[in-house]
Chains A and B, each alone.
Chain A
Amino acid sequence: MTLAFQLALESDLVSAHMVEIIEFPHLANKYQVMGVPRTVIDETIHIEGAVPEPMLMQEFAKLLS
C-alpha cells in the first residue's frame, strides 16, 4: 500500500486507493481478488501479492507504450 501512496505523492496523474475488500465484496468479485494484497492498475494490470518497486515500474512502463 505504501508504494502506491508514494507513486501518488510523486505524480499528479497517479491516484492510489486502498480498498478494504470485506466491505466491498462486489469489487472482490469484479477484480477476482483471491488473495491480498492485490494491486489493480487502471483496471487492466493485475498483480498478486506485495510488489517491489522495480517490478511495479516494469508494469507501469506498459502504460507508456
Chain B
Amino acid sequence: MTLLNAEIRKDVKAALADLHTPVTFKVFTQAFECQYCKETRELVQEVAELSDKVSVEIYDFVKDKALADSLGIDKVPGMAVIGAKDYGIRMFGIPSGYEFGSLIESIKMVSSGESELAPETKKVLAKLAKPVTIQVFGTPT
C-alpha cells in the first residue's frame, strides 16, 4: 500500500530529476499520541525513493530529544529539511494535499541553495541583526 499513486510518483520524479546538492530529511515521530506520524514518515520515504539525491533519517521525538531540541523540533510529526547546510526549514504536521507541493518545493530549493529573491528583499534581509522565525499555518486542502 503506497500513499502516492503512479501518476504523482511520475510527476515527483520529474520534478526532482535535476537536483544538485543532496537533501536530507530528519523526521521526528513518536510511537503514541501522534495522529499522522506514521503517514508523514511513509510519505517522505516514498518521495525519497524517487530521487537518489534525497534521503530520510527517522528519529524518535522522545529518545532523540537532544537532537530534536538542537534542531528546534518542538512537536511531531516534525522534520528538518537540510541541504549543503541547515537553512532553518522545518515542516510540522503531514505535508499532504496543498502542502505536498510545499514539500516538493522545499527539496528543490534546499538542493539549489538559491533563494531567487528580489535584490531589494536581499538588502532588507542583510540588515537583520537577530534571528527571526516565520511560521506559516496551512491546511491540507
Most chain-A CB neighbours within 10 Å: which of B72, B88, B129, B134? B134
User: Is B128 part of the binding interface, using a Cβ–Cβ cutoff of 8 Å?
Assistant: yes
Q: Which residues of B contact A22 (CB under 8 A)?
A: 93, 139-140
Beta-carbon contacts under 8 Å, B78-106 to A: 87-95, 99, 102, 105-106
Which B residues lie within 8 Å of A15 (CB)?
Answer: 72, 88-90, 131-134
The answer to whether A10 and B117 have CB atoms under 8 Å apart is yes
Specify which chain A residues have a CB less than 8 angstroms from the CB of B133 in the assembled complex: 14-15, 17, 41-43
Task: Choose one: B35, B105, B118, B137; the contact of A19 (CB below 8 Å).
Answer: B137
Q: Are B136 and A42 in contact (CB under 8 A)?
A: no
Quick one: closest B residue to A56, CB to CB?
B121
The residue that A39 contacts in the complex, of B72, B99, B117, B135, with Cβ under 8 A, is: B135
For the complex, give the distance between the alpha carbons of A36 and B138 in Å: 5
Cβ-defined contact, A17 with B92, below 8 A = yes
Distance of B134 from chain A, by nearest CB (Å): 5
Question: Does B7 interact with chain A (Cβ within 8 Å)?
Answer: no
Chain B residues at the A interface, C-beta cutoff of 8 Å: 35-36, 72, 75, 77, 87-95, 99, 102, 105-106, 109-110, 113-118, 120-122, 124-140
Chain A to chain B contacts (Cβ below 8 Å), 8 pairs:
A7-B125, A9-B113, A15-B90, A17-B133, A17-B134, A21-B139, A36-B138, A53-B118
